[in-house]
Structure 1
Amino acid sequence: MRVIVAGCGRVGSALAVRLVHEGHDVRIIDRDPKTVRLLPPGFTGRVLHGNAYSRTLLDAAGTGRADAFVAVTSGDNTNIVSARTAKEVYRVPIVLARIYDPRRADIYRGLGITTIASVRWTVHQLHQMLLHRHLAPEVGFGNGETLLLRSQLPEYLTGRPLGELEVDGEIRVAEVTRGGRSFIPTRTTRADADDLVTFVVAAEALNRLRGFLDKELGT
């Protein structure tokens, strides 16, 4: 997977190092050449210096062929402009942006950009959202013990009963959106191509659901 990381601070550098160690193609963009000191010797990712929203720099980083773009600079304005450019101009499939001012979250969401609140999220969570992009929780209940999330089903599940994805006390299929229309399925309802499914899942069972949806996808 090719990932463009805008910002080589503590979060961006740590995420880049982790992805490189896993064999991903990582390109970092940062204004300050001194930030490379946060990268370990022998770092094999590519580092470019300049503004993360510069079209020239984004072209040089290969953003048009990127699988994901992560904006984690120290400025909200830079993050939103670069993330929006990646999504709208370069059509990058996965775009994540860090925010410092939570009041701006609605702006990002209105643009279809997933946001990461700097206080509440860690490098590990960014990593999970990149590699398990189908499973970003939308709502949490109580103290986060139960989650509501939506996922587009992988192709290999087409024709399979949705009940196969349920586990008593852990995972329930609550709703399906198919062809723009929503309905509540039964356990015998068979999955169709491009189904968008809403799950209610216990937080402790999230990895189990990931296993169902990531199987045979190589993620």
Structure 2
Amino acid sequence: MNNVIVVGCGRVGSRLANMLSDNGNNVCVIDRKVEAFANLGRNFNGSTVQGVGFDEETLVKAGIEDCDVLAAVTQFDNANLMVAEVGSRLFDVPHVIARLYNPDHERAYMQLGLDYVCGTSLVAEDIFSKVVSGHGAHLDTFGDFEVLRFSLSLSCLDRHSIRVADLEREHDVRIIAFERGDGSASSIPSRDSILYNGDLVLACVRHELIPAFSKYIQD
């Protein structure tokens, strides 16, 4: 479970906040306009703070001192950049993710070493995958797919192992490689390979299936 702050409560921010909250994370949403919080809906289980997302006092009120992940998803690249800079440099947030609208700004984001998502569709899903798989676990994006590296959790099942073919068939994913949890062996799997709880897994997952598949990703 992560403590997550989402800055921006538009379409992307509200969707991301609900996805993270439904996944068991503690979520606080910041927006300048109090009416924006209506986008969260009645079932949102997190908290909200009205204010400017890069204002230190607002961030402290939102809980940034105990924050694991800060996601800046406003509609303005400069605002997202400022939020990311304040979060990473002043508060040492372990994982900061910024939304990027204009690809012309991508070089600046890269030079600053920021984790970011660029695009106009499936942005919430992209950021969600980064959060649930942990910092550094999101390896790359290929069209409609994400390549993720994570420790396998089978706590959702009434067993401690699962066959690769069963996991792939039930969730429409592709297991690329795996390593035993104790580091004793690694392999490119066959359909009959067995995965165990705690194994390190490299998998290719469709964007839209990440929320459902996240139950297999250890926090």
Q: TM-score, normalised by structure 2?
A: 0.67
Deviation for aligned residue 1:102:
0.8
**1:89 maps to which residue?**
90
**2:189 maps to which residue?**
167
Greater relative contact order (CA < 8 Å, ≥ 6 in sequence): 2
Q: Distance in 1 between matches of 2:146 and 2:43?
A: 42
Q: Distance in 1 between matches of 2:129 and 2:15?
A: 14
Q: Distance in 1 between matches of 2:45 and 2:121?
A: 29
Deviations 1:135-176 (A, max 9, x none): 323475xx78896x8x6999x845423x33x2369xxxxxxx
**2:195 maps to which residue?**
none
Which stretches in structure 2 are left out of the alignment for 5+ residues?
153-179, 192-200
Q: In the alignment, is the contact (CA less than 8 A) between 2:87 and 2:96 conserved in 1?
A: yes
Q: In the alignment, is the contact (CA less than 8 A) between 1:95 and 1:113 conserved in 2?
A: yes
Map 1:36-115 onto structure 2 (within 5 A). Answer: 36-115=37-116
Q: In the alignment, is the contact (CA less than 8 A) between 2:144 and 2:206 conserved in 1?
A: no
Q: In the alignment, is the contact (CA less than 8 A) between 1:71 and 1:97 conserved in 2?
A: yes
Q: Distance in 2 between matches of 1:70 and 1:145?
A: 21
**2:218 maps to which residue?**
218
RMSD of Structure 2 on Structure 1 (CA): 3.4
Secondary structure at 1:104 match in 2 = helix
Q: In the alignment, is the contact (CA less than 8 A) between 1:5 and 1:70 conserved in 2?
A: yes
Identity %: 26
- Structure 1 residues 47, 127: CA separation in 2 closer, same or farther (over 3 Å shift)? same
Map 1:146-165 onto structure 2 (within 5 A). Answer: 157=181, 159-161=183-185, 163-164=186-187
Deviation for aligned residue 1:89:
1.3
- Structure 1 residues 55, 124: CA separation in 2 closer, same or farther (over 3 Å shift)? same
Q: Distance in 1 between matches of 2:205 and 2:72?
A: 29
> How many residues matched?
177
Deviations 1:119-139 (A, max 9, x none): 254322221111113432347
- Structure 1 residues 61, 103: CA separation in 2 closer, same or farther (over 3 Å shift)? same
